[in-house]
């Protein structure tokens, strides 16, 4: 039996201020994204047949492979943060800079030349490079060792200068920051630490468009989620969703939040267990590239400490199982093309529900026949070679040899 680790926070305080993730802000930011010509709400897929099979009330999966043609949700954060940076630089309100104006020659001339710098496992950098390219500005992107060539090429297609370093993600972040400081470039990172909090908070706010769409769709269907599962690297995405859903479902309506990480680099799991910010350095290897981060976003960690009940960590075979199950659904359910980081929570939880071995975890999470589960498939097949190796050829099997 492959191992799933769990740590739970029994007395969460609901104290950290999450008003920056409230419904009004989300609505305003969704309107900003909705003005992009490539905007289209991504599908919220209902897997009712699988829910029956696994003896839960219902299962919903938000499919972010359709986001702006970029195969992942991350562009929502980078595009909103860069919009805010541009508006600030021009002394304007972002409301007066809808997409067509933001990318116009008038604005380009007013701004002059700008260079945006970031580090990425793939998806965030692609979103930053895409936005910079739309603005006819430059971008420089650093990527960690082991990065798939397809992810490099997708960022280069956005006219970015990409360098793969023999470093891990967190070391790439430091190098990107130093380069930006030395040259007066704009550093746009999707994680925060003491003294670097404003831009990462905008990025987290940008991610709310996705949760806002989920919320609207569930409201239309008159469905109330009981459990929301979120994958985490540095925790920005998870905290943005936790903050938003805790705001829109207050009090007794609050869903149970569970955070999922790779077991080889589980900085939020460890930080919840020890109740202090744990940094994981050195070398680690996981197929969940987007979740391979060892240093929690400080703001996100405060949100998760105060609002998330459970933290899980598991190995690559669970992510692979999630990819296969989403790509080959039960008859009558729709398929979702989901990548390694996108499918991780789904892979873990469907195993928990299906196998008696994990009954204790199922109980601890409070899952039963009335539960309504929400997952976010945060990316599609962003590394197609690995996707085919896993989904077609059965790499990273769930079953022990
Ligand atoms: C596809 C995907 N899912 C989830 C995450 C995790 O987001 P965060 O680092 O904000 O926790 C990432 C981060 O790059 C990602 O690319």
Q: What is the CATH number of domain 75-189?
A: 3.40.50.1100
Specify the CATH number of the domain 4-73+199-391: 3.40.50.1100
Confidence of residue 399 (pLDDT cuts 50, 70, 90): confident
**CB atoms closer than 10 angstroms to residue 91:** 6
Q: Of the listed 2, 62, 63, 121, which one is catalytic?
A: 121
74 is catalytic: yes
User: Which residues form ligand 1's pocket by a CB distance below 6 Å?
Assistant: 72, 74, 121, 123-124, 190, 231-238, 290-291, 293, 341-342, 378-379
Active site residue 121: yes
Q: What is the pLDDT of residue 234?
A: 97
Task: Please give the distance of CA 105 from its chain centroid, rounded to a whole number.
Answer: 32
Q: Distance, CA 105 to ligand 1 centroid (Å)?
A: 33
**Looking at the predicted structure, is the pLDDT value of residue 400 above 90?**
no
Q: Reply yes or no on whether the pLDDT at 197 is more than 70.
A: yes
Give pLDDT tens digits for 116-145.
999 999 999 999 999 999 999 999 999 999
Q: Over range 183-211, report the average pLDDT.
A: 98
CA trace torsion 183, 159, 122, 210 (10° rounding): 100
Q: Does position 73 have pLDDT exceeding 70, yes or no?
A: yes
CATH 3.40.50.1100 segments of the chain: 4-73+199-391, 75-189
Q: Which entry of 62, 74, 254, 351 is annotated as an active-site residue?
A: 74
DSSP-assigned letters across all residues of 351-401: HHHH-GGGHHHHHHHT--TT-EEEEEE-BS-SSHHHHHHHHTT--S-SS--
CB atoms within 10 A of CB 265: 27
C-alpha 290 – ligand 1 centre gap (Å): 5
């Amino acid at each position: 039996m492959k191992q799933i680790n769990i740590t739970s926070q029994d007395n969460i305080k609901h104290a950290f201020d999450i008003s920056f993730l409230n419904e009004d802000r989300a609505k305003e930011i969704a309107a900003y994204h909705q003005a992009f010509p490539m905007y289209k709400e991504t599908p919220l897929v209902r897997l009712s047949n699988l829910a029956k099979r696994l003896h839960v009330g219902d299962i919903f999966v938000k499919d972010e492979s359709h986001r702006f043609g970029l195969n992942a949700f991350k562009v929502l954060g980078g595009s909103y943060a860069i919009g805010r940076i541009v508006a600030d630089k021009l002394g304007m309100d972002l409301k007066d800079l809808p997409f067509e104006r933001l990318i116009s020659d008038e604005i380009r001339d007013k701004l002059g030349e700008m260079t945006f710098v970031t580090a990425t496992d793939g998806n965030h950098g692609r979103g930053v490079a895409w936005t910079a390219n739309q603005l006819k500005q430059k971008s420089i992107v650093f990527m960690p060792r082991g990065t798939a060539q397809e992810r490099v090429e997708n960022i280069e297609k956005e006219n970015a200068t990409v360098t793969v370093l023999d470093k891990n993600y967190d070391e790439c972040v430091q190098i990107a920051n130093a380069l930006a400081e030395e040259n007066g470039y704009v550093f746009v990172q999707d994680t925060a630490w003491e003294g670097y909090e404003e831009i990462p908070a905008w990025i987290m706010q940008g991610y709310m468009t996705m949760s806002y769409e989920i919320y609207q769709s569930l409201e239309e269907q008159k469905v109330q989620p009981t459990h929301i599962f979120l994958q985490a690297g540095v925790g920005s995405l998870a905290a943005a969703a936790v903050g938003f859903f805790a705001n829109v479902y207050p009090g007794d309506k609050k869903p149970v939040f569970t955070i999922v990480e790779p077991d080889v680099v589980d900085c939020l799991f460890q930080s919840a267990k020890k109740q202090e910010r744990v940094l994981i350095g050195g070398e680690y290897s996981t197929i969940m590239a987007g979740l391979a981060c060892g240093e929690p976003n400080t703001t996100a960690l405060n949100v998760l400490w105060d609002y998330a009940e459970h933290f899980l960590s598991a190995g690559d075979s669970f992510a692979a199982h999630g990819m296969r199950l989403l790509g080959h659904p039960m008859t009558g359910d729709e398929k979702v093309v989901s990548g390694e980081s996108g499918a991780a929570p789904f892979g873990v939880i469907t195993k928990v529900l299906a196998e008696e071995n994990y009954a204790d975890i199922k109980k601890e999470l409070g899952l039963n026949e009335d539960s309504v589960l929400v997952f976010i498939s945060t990316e599609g097949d962003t590394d197609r070679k690995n996707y085919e190796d896993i989904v077609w050829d059965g790499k990273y099997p769930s079953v022990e040899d």
